[in-house]
Structure 1
Amino acid sequence: MIQPTFALTEKQTEANAILASPARHILLRGGSRSGKTFLICRALLIRALKAKGSTHAVLRQHFNHLKFSVIFDTMPKVARLCYPGLDLHLDKTDWFHELPNGSRIIYGGLDDKERADKILGQEHSSIFLNEASQISYGARNKAVTRLAQTSGLALKEYVDCNPPSVSHWTYRLWYQKVEPNGGEELADPEAYASIQMNPADNLANLPDTYLTQLQSLPEKDRKRFLHGEFLAQVDNALWSLDILDRKRERRWGSESERQALIERMQRIVVAIDPSGCAGVEDQRSDEIGLVVCGVDFAGQGYILEDLSGRYSPEGWARVAISAFESWRADTIIAERNFGGAMVESTIRTASQYAPVKLVTASRGKKVRAEPVAALYEQGKITHVGAFPEIEEQYLNFSTAGYQGGRSPDRADAAVWGLTELIVEQVSLIELYSRLAG
């Protein structure tokens, strides 16, 4: 075996000890250019060289990002610096690096379902989730089930990220040591290990001006990309993580459990917050907020499913109709301001029968969100599972307005749905009471 010659920094040496520890699930989190991805790629090469014919999967949300960051950059750099002379062959048809001993490091983007399914149809000795802030907890769980290869290596999940908010599943697993979907304590907390790595720990490998560039970022970005901290809720936030956790239920584990959940509901709606997104490759536009909400016979509201994403108009209409049918919903709620009649026409093209109610954003996002936030404060809304993207957007609402970087598309859709199911009904009841009085 070719011996590595690359010298690790002090922090990388500390992190490397964690990577080699008995822990099965390892998170490297921290600021930008701190060496997280480099170190995990190095660990994958070591493992691949050690176990002949072993396979190791590297997954990221978007394949194009993975291709230019890891496949063409970090992994070849690791091989060149740590294993000079190593023959690392890249197959650009099936996208894997093959080592001389027959081991493979296989790459895939979760945005390519066919490719991702092919990778997750195999067994692996290692799974690396690159920039996990963009990856859903459900996708992570599916990937972990493929840690099943008998290669003589201990099975390992590696994760790296620039820390998102405290509502993200990475924070809940590695720092709160709880199951993100239900809040139960982990059965094996000792299997989860993590370390914080920041660019200040990697100065020997950075341009002289890099830290200065990061220090000039806005405070929120500086906290994440320079200091590597998970983002807490904003000042005077309308929501808190404690409030979101207060009435959380475990996500259904089977179709029969989902059907039982449907039977508990008095009403279910599919709420849509459209955008100008043209499809999955359109990274400039906001996502389509698409959230399934319900209310039970006692008046308790529920977030049931988040199907938001980057869809073409025809794509989000098909997803909405599918959700309408599978959840046995009674109405599709859609915000009319973006495209007006086009929104209803798009849905009608997908189905002639689903009832559609168009709503108008006559007030600002904060004003619409406040009565829904009050329902959460009163314990009247339950999340069935974890919805990290919605919850992160909730945590960025404050009394001064929305403080997030992009549009709160998912939170907007959830607010529309819960407003239809509960807020407007409470308002009508109060109106009738005053008239009767």
Structure 2
Amino acid sequence: MVIGVEPAAKGHENADLTGFIVAGRGTPYVSAYGDNRPRGYVLHAEEKRLTPTAVMRRAAALYHEHQADWVVIEANNGGEYLPALLEQVDPRVPWRIVHATRGKRARAAPVAQLYEQTRIHHVGPPRTFAELEEQMLTFVGLGETEDSPDLLDSAVWALWDLFLDQPGRIAQGDDRRLDGRR
């Protein structure tokens, strides 16, 4: 279980929103047609305009509320200070930092394939995912001319961490992605 955070680069009233996603990985209880591959579950999606300290407080609150394993923080646009800020807000919360090295479309493509394989499920009231699903349906990757899809980005980071990331760049502790999930 991870909390994906895609922070806004600025904190003023017209700034982008910060996206928060709670996602988990599990093995299906009953396999469909012999498909025992792990499934992803998006349990919560929200976006807010917050100060950096408030962003880390909200990430810590979601971490505790959902008993997550860690927080995945996207650190482009000067966000390198966010893990230090999270440690000040709540030193008990483990984190991983990720950096965008490719465009949003290239990062989202493998996660979109997981959705196409029906391996990712949104679990909870539909209104919880309305904005996320709107961003998923309307994002085309036009660059600067398109609004930043904050929830989509945070979902990509969370699901990438759960399914696609290679162990070895964990900020704190051992790689526990598969503990209790076999």
Which one of 370, 378, 394 corresponds to residue 136 of structure 2? 394
Counterpart Cα distance in 1 of 2:89 and 2:71: 12
What SS does structure 1 have at the residue aligned with 2:20?
Answer: strand
Q: Is the 8 A contact 1:290 1:413 kept in 2?
A: yes
Q: Does 1:349 align with 2:79?
A: no
Residue in 2 that maps onto 1:421 = 162
Deviates more, 1:406-415 or 1:293-302: 293-302
Matches within 5 A, 1:301-320: 301-320=40-59
> Which letter does structure 2 place at the counterpart of 1:289?
G
Counterpart Cα distance in 1 of 2:154 and 2:142: 15
Q: CA deviation at 1:278?
A: 2.2
Counterpart Cα distance in 1 of 2:46 and 2:67: 16
Counterpart Cα distance in 1 of 2:61 and 2:114: 28
Report the aligned-residue RMSD.
1.7
Q: CA deviation at 1:312?
A: 1.0
Q: Does 1:288 align with 2:29?
A: no
Q: Does 1:363 align with 2:102?
A: yes
Residue in 1 that maps onto 2:35 = none
Matches within 5 A, 1:55-134: none
Q: CA deviation at 1:416?
A: 0.2
Residue in 1 that maps onto 2:39 = 300
Counterpart Cα distance in 2 of 1:336 and 1:307: 19
Unmatched tracts of structure 1, length 5 or more = 1-267, 426-437
Matches within 5 A, 1:5-24: none
Which one of 69, 73, 95 corresponds to residue 330 of structure 1? 69
Counterpart Cα distance in 2 of 1:292 and 1:380: 16
Counterpart Cα distance in 1 of 2:39 and 2:22: 15
Q: CA deviation at 1:423?
A: 2.1
Q: CA deviation at 1:409?
A: 0.7
> Which letter does structure 2 place at the counterpart of 1:391?
E
Matches within 5 A, 1:48-59: none
> Which letter does structure 2 place at the counterpart of 1:375?
L
> Which letter does structure 2 place at the counterpart of 1:303?
V
What SS does structure 1 have at the residue aligned with 2:121?
Answer: strand
Residue in 1 that maps onto 2:175 = none
Q: Does 1:380 align with 2:110?
A: no
Q: Is the 8 A contact 1:372 1:415 kept in 2?
A: yes
Q: Which has the higher contact order (CA 8 A, sep 6+)?
A: 2
Unmatched tracts of structure 2, length 5 or more = 29-37, 167-182
> Which letter does structure 1 place at the counterpart of 2:5?
I
How many residues are aligned here? 153
Q: Does 1:412 align with 2:163?
A: no
Q: CA deviation at 1:402?
A: 4.6
Counterpart Cα distance in 2 of 1:354 and 1:376: 29
Taking structure 1 as the reference length, what is the TM-score of the superposition?
A: 0.34
Counterpart Cα distance in 1 of 2:116 and 2:25: 17
Q: Is the 8 A contact 1:274 1:338 kept in 2?
A: no
> Which letter does structure 2 place at the counterpart of 1:275?
A
Q: CA deviation at 1:424?
A: 2.4
Counterpart Cα distance in 2 of 1:304 and 1:350: 24
Deviations 1:327-348 (A, max 9, x none): 0100100011122421112211
Q: Is the 8 A contact 1:277 1:311 kept in 2?
A: no
> Which letter does structure 2 place at the counterpart of 1:406?
D
Deviations 1:18-42 (A, max 9, x none): xxxxxxxxxxxxxxxxxxxxxxxxx
> Which letter does structure 2 place at the counterpart of 1:307?
E
Q: Is the 8 A contact 1:277 1:287 kept in 2?
A: no
> Which letter does structure 2 place at the counterpart of 1:318?
R
Deviations 1:183-202 (A, max 9, x none): xxxxxxxxxxxxxxxxxxxx
Flag the 1:402–1:422 CA change in 2: closer, same or farther, 3 A: farther
